[in-house]
Structure 1
Amino acid sequence: MPKSEAAELITAARIRKKVSWDDLAKEVDAPLVWCVSALLGQHPMTAAQAERACSMLELDSAVAESLQRQPSRGIDPALMSDPTIYRFHEALAVYSPALKELLHEEFGDGIMSAINFKVDFARREHPDGDRVVITFDGKFLDYRW
């Protein structure tokens, strides 16, 4: 089963069964954002994780097998026009040059790893409207000549 088809089945079952992404992350014992990304096809899960998620959602072994496959990472270009996804790209386009300068000033010549990497998501109450807090936590990889 293609990972995209498994993701559709997972999303539909999650809504039908009223299971939150957080509930699934706790069930498979994985960080929230990583777990959602894996269930949407961007990371391979272990057999135990896939089986626990599918058991919770009452999905068959074909979905569990798909969750264990190595993904082709990336985003469907058609999703780039989704307003939420576009805003992430817009924010990175605006702030990436400044973040690059700050990274080099603080750490030197190198990059932030997106492999040895964690991302966290939180909601923070604010009087002007709740805030979205997203934290990138990547290992610094210095260039070595």
Structure 2
Amino acid sequence: MSIPEITQKLLAAKKDKGLSFTDLEKILGRDEVWIAAAIYRQASASEEEAKQLVEALGLDESYVKELTEYPVKGLGPVVPTDPLIYRFYEIMQVYGMPMKAVIHEKFGDGIMSAIDFTLDIEKEEDPKGDRVKVIMSGKFLPYKKW
């Protein structure tokens, strides 16, 4: 997976400033995962959000325009090779159909929106090793008959 040049520059500025995504969440008033998605060009920012981000990172306003453009989303048609990202791919291979079956049983025939959607990542401390808690919440959209 290639990382866009703007993403590389934004991440370098974030590192140089010693900022975390949590720090940026406090500055922009948007969730840290959404901010990361905007930086990785998987979400588009409003002009105000882009200006706040660019200012927080100490960059010039030339980045604002690109951050507000509609991105091309997704990893592409290949199996991800990054181990962390691959684990999510593997989770969907193993649990995708069971998740689909349970969702259909509880909600009916439809999908979970990835547009009306939130994603939170939490750290759960555990004496056996810290755990990653991923919380996805998407609006249920039933298929319509016509």
Q: TM-score, normalised to structure 2's length?
A: 0.92
CA deviations on 1:112-137 (whole Å, 9 max, x unpaired) are 11111111110001111000000110
AA matched with 2:4: S
Hey, what's the Cα distance between the residues in 2 that align with 1:107 and 1:141?
A: 9
Superposition pairs for residues 1-145 of structure 1, below 5 Å? 4-76=4-76, 80-145=80-145
Hey, what's the Cα distance between the residues in 2 that align with 1:80 and 1:137?
A: 23
Q: Which structure shows the higher helix fraction?
A: 1
AA matched with 1:128: K
CA contact (8 A) 1:7 1:39 kept: yes
CA contact (8 A) 1:43 1:70 kept: yes
> Cα 1:79–1:26, aligned 2, differ >3 Å: closer, same or farther?
farther
C-alpha root-mean-square deviation of aligned residues, in Å?
1.6
Hey, what's the Cα distance between the residues in 1 that align with 2:139 and 2:50?
A: 27
Deviation at 1:79, TM superposition (A): 8.0
CA contact (8 A) 1:25 1:36 kept: no
Identity %: 38
Hey, what's the Cα distance between the residues in 1 that align with 2:77 and 2:99?
A: 25
Hey, what's the Cα distance between the residues in 2 that align with 1:134 and 1:25?
A: 17
Look up the SS of the partner of 1:123 in the other structure.
Answer: strand
Look up the SS of the partner of 1:50 in the other structure.
Answer: helix
AA matched with 1:96: G
CA contact (8 A) 1:25 1:35 kept: yes
Structure 2: unaligned runs, 5 residues or longer: none
Aligned length: 143
Structure number with greater CO (CA < 8 Å, separation at least 6) is: 1
